Amino acid sequence: MSKRITVGVARPAAVTVFINGRAVEAYVGESVLTALIAAGVLTTSRDSFGRLRTPFCNMGVCFDCLVEVDEGEGASSRVRACLTPVRAGLRLVVPEGH
Ligand code: FES
């Protein structure tokens, strides 16, 4: 079930992003964090003690939304999901088992 507001909202055509390999619908113009939350993903990473982290501020301050982006060919980067715009084909890696 979608967690998005659907009544009275106009969005561009959907693009596909991948969360741990699972294809989900997202929209250019929204943040990666919005796409994650809409897909039901509330944890983005683990801290140095292995504890799950979840977004807190949604404005780039807390860094609790750091998420891994698979850049392909073995490369990856970590970005703040709340400040990173969605783009088609984005491959996100988040902790499993929660
Ligand atoms: S939620 Fe705090 S930096 Fe993104």
Domain of 20, CATH number, reads: 3.10.20.440
CB 33 within 8 A of CB 58: yes
Q: How far apart are CA 44 and CA 85, in angstroms?
A: 16
Ligand 1 binding site (Cβ under 6 Å of any ligand atom): 55-58, 60-65, 80, 82
Domain membership flag for residue 38 = yes
Whether the full predicted model's pTM is greater than 0.85, yes or no, is yes
Q: Please name the residue whose Cα sits nearest to atom 3 of ligand 1.
A: 60
Give the model's pLDDT for residue 64.
94
CB 98 within 8 A of CB 23: no
Q: How far apart are CA 70 and CA 26, in angstroms?
A: 17
Q: How far apart are CA 29 and CA 94, in angstroms?
A: 21
State the residue range of the domain holding 35: 14-93
Domain membership flag for residue 98 = no
Give the model's pLDDT for residue 97.
66
Number of domains making up the chain: 1
What amino acid occupies position 1?
Answer: M
Domain membership flag for residue 7 = no
Mutate-to-test residue for ligand 1 from 61, 78, 84, 94, highest number of ligand atoms within 8 A of CB: 61
Domain membership flag for residue 42 = yes
pLDDT per position in the chain (98 positions), as tens? 667 888 999 999 999 999 999 999 999 999 999 999 999 999 999 999 999 999 999 999 999 999 999 998 999 999 999 999 999 999 999 998 65
